[in-house]
Structure 1
Amino acid sequence: MIKITKQTRHIVVLIFLSYLFFMLGNSLLSLTSPDEVFYAQTAKEMAKHHSWVTPYLFDEPQFEKPIFLYWLLWFAFMLFGVSSFGARFFPALFAILGVIAVYLLAVLGFRDNKKAFMSAFILMSAGFYIGLARTVFTDMIFTVFILLALVSFFWGYSCREKKMLGILLFFIFSGLAVLTKGPIGFLISFLTIVLFLLVKNDLKFLLCRYSLWGVIVFLGISLPWYIIMIQKYGHDFTHEFFYNDHFRRIIEAEHKRYDTWYFYLFSMIAYMFPWSLFVLMAMIYFFRNLKHDFSAINVFLACWISVVFCIFQPAHSKLSSYILPLFPALAIITGNFVCNKMSLEPKIQRNSYLLAFSIFVVLWVILFMHSYIDPYVSSKLSAEYLLKNYKVESYILCSKPFVRGVRYYTDKPVAVVNIHSTEDNFFSLHPIPYFHSKEELVEFLKKQPVTYCILKKSSIDEIKSLAGKEFNFTLLKAVGNQYIFVVSFLRNL
């Protein structure tokens, strides 16, 4: 009879629960604007242009992110069709892998299955992790590659007979992280292990032939796509990708209200909800007692958190998703803390699991209400109404938040109206008409006899002010926070 180990049972349970938390019901809510549709539309247009190398958006090459997520989306669309479930499949799958990786790292570090299970369970049930697992972003895939790289290294470090494989896997996963979100993927993982080895006075561990082989493999994975893009597009690619999408985010805030000294400190605690209070207590306890418990896993986790925080804190562009790579470390620290407290207060265990499942209930309440939420987060219903009831043969004029979604759901040319707004243009290049002034908008509307519009409420007055002798303005339908209008140029009627 085959004996099933406790670790195997734990992993099976975690996979099942992760499926419920991350993947089940992913087809209910339409792809949201502006980011999910950005990635999905890019994959669609790559297929349309038969391009495995160059990402496309608005039928032009776009250089905002590396290629790996688009490959995954393209593959998912071939498997499941172009759908919200297909687009969200790989972020959810990688989130499941992340939960299992945290379990394995905690087993390696603590030699305690209970602490490992609790650590993985905390990550799996953290609200922000669930949200990004169910969202088409690069962040989850990027984070899991960094996590797998660090787990591989720690495996090789803890089990010296696995040193060669651990180091090689570290460089493989680091290369895939670079192919997912850029050079920062290697910077995070490499600085973490170097700082760890320096603190442990064991830098010689990395100075071996396995590292040389690993560097060769890393370069073979990460460099070819960048070399091809630089050769093909030259300055256009290097300026947009390396300056605009990387260096500019360091020196300039894309979202100015987030550029504060406390933003990431707040995010680390708040976005681990419903475990926030436990995380706060665990972090205080962890760093206070680090000098008394200088074990390899504790030093490793401290270096991991410090590197991620020190890399992203000085940059002026701040988003909570940027520090997702430290959430696995937070979960392990918190899992260890909670399990230690459980031994003193058994009722904490019961309350902890009830706390985690409360967010599962909240998640399913949200999914159950998807028909009420959809009109406010997605342009699918507006686009479907327009295409079903009217013959759209020209540009669709959109408010800025809706333009990517309208493009995704209609495959029609789009333009943006943004008069009298304090918002800037898109942070990255968008090769579409963008109207900041009434004069520009009038010239555009005169070039097509009928213009259909999907606008937010604040943009309505910008269009209505044109009504009069030259233009006729008609409201067709309101869908959530989106208003569908038609503007007719009277001289051409």
Structure 2
Amino acid sequence: MLLKIFDSRRLPVTLLILFYLATYILPLGSRQMIRPDEFRYAEIPREMLASGNWITPKLVDVRYFEKPALGYQLTALSFKYFGENAFALRLPSALAVGITALLLFRLLKTNSSDPRLPVLATGIYLLCGLVYGVGTFAVLDSQLTAALTLTIGFFYFAWSARTRLATAAWLAAVGAATGAAFLLKGLLAFAVPTVVIVPFLLWQKEWKKIFVYPWLPFAAALLVALPWALAIHHQEPDFWRYFIEEEHFNRFTGNTYDRDPEPFWYFIPVLLGGMLPAGLYCTAAWMGWKRELFRRPLYRFLLCWAVLPFLLFSASSCKLGTYILPCFPPLAALIAAGTLEAFRLRPGSARKILDITFKSLGLLLAALAVIATVGLIVWRFIPALPELYGKWNLFPYLTLLALLAWGVALIRSRRWTAPVQSAVFLFGMAPAIVFGLNAVPDIALGDKATAVGIRQCLEEIPVRRGDIILVDRGTLQATAWLLKRTDLVLIGKPGELQYGLNNYPEYASRWYKEEETDKLLAASHPGSRLFITLRNLKKKPLPPDWAAEQVVTRNGISVIRF
């Protein structure tokens, strides 16, 4: 059986699976959680589990209407079966990348006669820096990308199906995936597939299908989305007004409480940087992007899929780099197709370009590994510098050794066949990723690893029974997650809780402006007040009338007892 798995025909797919498991799944729990996103996307599902209310998203028991509930529900399920930890928190994102990669592989395998295309495209997709970074981080963009990829990919299966029954089945699947995407992030579930599918059908001169295809998917999407949509309306009648008005219209046309409008070109450097290192295949792929390639329906479809959502997201005022993640599956396919076409049309030139590209990358990696190793050794012998690692932590040195080995292999890869060279490039980074995630020191994360500082501070100033816990917006989510408490009192700007705190009077005692804090501190209470804050006490000391009893600062976090 083992020999069958590793035979020459199955080996590329086996390497893809092993790479995904080794780099996306196994290291998920090996690094600290990062504020604010990871603690937010941990705390809301934790509260779902604790309260039993899986309908209304709440953060520290305050209504939180920025997104529908499906993403939080998936994480809550992960917590239920794998425990409330970093691995379970990030698992839905990593699984979503796997689903996206599987659909991409299947789409290309079914619609291409070149067996190399699905393997190369999937490998490029998994090795894109933005895909990896988001896919091993606790945000909902990878889940949305998976749902949109299923929606758009299922449409192509429906369009290319040979029977009416198969077309209808695939269209129903389109609707189910659309409903799931809607429950993750709202109307983007309809907007993104529309800007892909309509231009593609027009390009194919099949405009009549624009009026025929939508009805079955729309009905299926309603079946998936309507139960929760009605349930949240019953529990929280203001949800849909806020979600559509603030999270769609205002974000697209203006700004929000924490985000200013960005220029139209904002996503261009994000795209170029996010494609690395796999995007280096573009050095050869451009030679294959000829007119003949886009006479084939599959590549026309992929071009619409890659370019038009990118323009849609660029037209929005409020932008985050993760928004363009749905463009990466078709982009990976186009890069792979262009590379293979370049090898077919101009094999000598394509191979020479990739040889130079991989050798340059190898030299850079080898040089950086050597310099970093020397730097780590020198660091240990300078007493004035802070300790980065424990005495026996070998992971930083293993990481640098793996980078050096990968670099040397890339330098020598010009002597090997093109498939072996690609395998070294695509999968040779796996050891460096695995070791590297275990080599990130807490000190390098600073106060972003909020839980580290809070734990250290609370060892010296422990929480007593009856204490009132005060937080600022920077420590809110992490404190709730660590202490498993939702009765926190927010001091200062409300941030993402602005809507809930301003619109529901039952939260009046949960939020004080900084100038009002003295009233809270002066009020009689049997317990003390514990303020957990990111405030830099050297640059912005506490007001003298706050009368602090104890102050401890660790890793950028301060805990003050009043």
Shorter-chain TM-score range: 0.7 to 0.9
**Aligned position for 1:486:** 560
What per-residue deviation string (whole Å, max 9, x for no partner) do you get for residues 198-221 of structure 1? 11111344655x753332221111
**Residues 441 and 351 of structure 1: is their aligned pair in 2 closer, same or farther, counting only changes over 3 Å?**
farther
**Aligned position for 2:276:** 273
Which amino acid is 1:101 matched to?
A: L
Tell me by how many angstroms 1:477 deviates: 3.8
**Residues 467 and 299 of structure 1: is their aligned pair in 2 closer, same or farther, counting only changes over 3 Å?**
same
Tell me by how many angstroms 1:141 deviates: 0.8
- 2:478 maps to 1:405: yes
- 2:211 maps to 1:230: no
Tell me by how many angstroms 1:80 deviates: 0.6
Tell me by how many angstroms 1:54 deviates: 1.6
1:206-221 equivalences under 5 Å are: 208=212, 212-221=215-224
**Aligned position for 1:378:** 449
Structure 1-normalised TM-score?
0.86
**Residues 201 and 363 of structure 1: is their aligned pair in 2 closer, same or farther, counting only changes over 3 Å?**
same
Where 2:147 maps in the other structure, the secondary structure is helix
- 2:506 maps to 1:429: no
Distance, in Å, in 2 between the alignment partners of 1:375 and 1:369 is: 15
Which amino acid is 1:203 matched to?
A: W
**Residues 51 and 211 of structure 1: is their aligned pair in 2 closer, same or farther, counting only changes over 3 Å?**
same
Could you tell me which runs of 5 or more consecutive residues in structure 2 were left unpaired when the two chains were aligned: 355-417, 502-506
CA contact (8 A) 1:43 1:73 kept: yes
**Residues 226 and 18 of structure 1: is their aligned pair in 2 closer, same or farther, counting only changes over 3 Å?**
same
Tell me by how many angstroms 1:353 deviates: 4.2
Tell me by how many angstroms 1:9 deviates: 5.3
- 2:233 maps to 1:160: no
What per-residue deviation string (whole Å, max 9, x for no partner) do you get for residues 69-122 of structure 1? 122112111111111111111211111111111112222343212011110000
CA contact (8 A) 2:135 2:142 kept: yes
**Aligned position for 1:474:** 550
From 517, 528, 533, the equivalent of 1:450 is: 528
- 2:188 maps to 1:184: yes
**Aligned position for 1:14:** 16
From 39, 63, 73, the equivalent of 1:37 is: 39
Distance, in Å, in 2 between the alignment partners of 1:228 and 1:82 is: 26
**Aligned position for 1:491:** none
Where 2:316 maps in the other structure, the secondary structure is coil
Structure 2-normalised TM-score?
0.77
**Aligned position for 2:408:** none
**Residues 110 and 459 of structure 1: is their aligned pair in 2 closer, same or farther, counting only changes over 3 Å?**
farther
Where 2:319 maps in the other structure, the secondary structure is coil
Tell me by how many angstroms 1:151 deviates: 1.4
Where 1:160 maps in the other structure, the secondary structure is coil
Where 1:401 maps in the other structure, the secondary structure is coil
Tell me by how many angstroms 1:428 deviates: 5.5
Where 2:298 maps in the other structure, the secondary structure is helix
Where 1:486 maps in the other structure, the secondary structure is strand
**Aligned position for 1:305:** 306
Which amino acid is 2:522 matched to?
A: K
**Residues 427 and 200 of structure 1: is their aligned pair in 2 closer, same or farther, counting only changes over 3 Å?**
farther
Which amino acid is 2:142 matched to?
A: M
What per-residue deviation string (whole Å, max 9, x for no partner) do you get for residues 28-55 of structure 1? 1233211111122111111222112222
Which amino acid is 2:463 matched to?
A: K
**Residues 6 and 427 of structure 1: is their aligned pair in 2 closer, same or farther, counting only changes over 3 Å?**
farther
Distance, in Å, in 1 between the alignment partners of 2:29 and 2:435 is: 15
What per-residue deviation string (whole Å, max 9, x for no partner) do you get for residues 314-361 of structure 1? 211101111111111111111112223445144634555444446545
CA contact (8 A) 2:288 2:341 kept: no
Where 1:152 maps in the other structure, the secondary structure is helix
Tell me by how many angstroms 1:262 deviates: 1.5
Q: Which has the larger radius of gyration?
A: 2
Tell me by how many angstroms 1:362 deviates: 4.7
CA contact (8 A) 2:287 2:342 kept: no
CA contact (8 A) 1:274 1:359 kept: no
Tell me by how many angstroms 1:129 deviates: 0.6
**Aligned position for 2:395:** none
Where 2:220 maps in the other structure, the secondary structure is helix
Distance, in Å, in 1 between the alignment partners of 2:495 and 2:62 is: 18
From 431, 437, 443, the equivalent of 1:367 is: 437
**Residues 64 and 284 of structure 1: is their aligned pair in 2 closer, same or farther, counting only changes over 3 Å?**
farther
Which amino acid is 1:425 matched to?
A: G
Where 2:264 maps in the other structure, the secondary structure is coil
Q: Which moved more, 1:126-135 or 1:373-382?
A: 373-382
From 197, 201, 217, the equivalent of 1:197 is: 201
Where 1:454 maps in the other structure, the secondary structure is strand
**Residues 326 and 294 of structure 1: is their aligned pair in 2 closer, same or farther, counting only changes over 3 Å?**
same
- 2:395 maps to 1:391: no
CA contact (8 A) 1:399 1:459 kept: no
**Residues 370 and 304 of structure 1: is their aligned pair in 2 closer, same or farther, counting only changes over 3 Å?**
same
CA contact (8 A) 2:56 2:235 kept: no
**Residues 410 and 383 of structure 1: is their aligned pair in 2 closer, same or farther, counting only changes over 3 Å?**
farther
From 122, 138, 141, the equivalent of 2:140 is: 138
Tell me by how many angstroms 1:417 deviates: 4.2
Tell me by how many angstroms 1:397 deviates: 3.2
**Aligned position for 1:330:** 331
CA contact (8 A) 1:127 1:273 kept: yes
- 2:479 maps to 1:414: no
**Residues 241 and 290 of structure 1: is their aligned pair in 2 closer, same or farther, counting only changes over 3 Å?**
farther
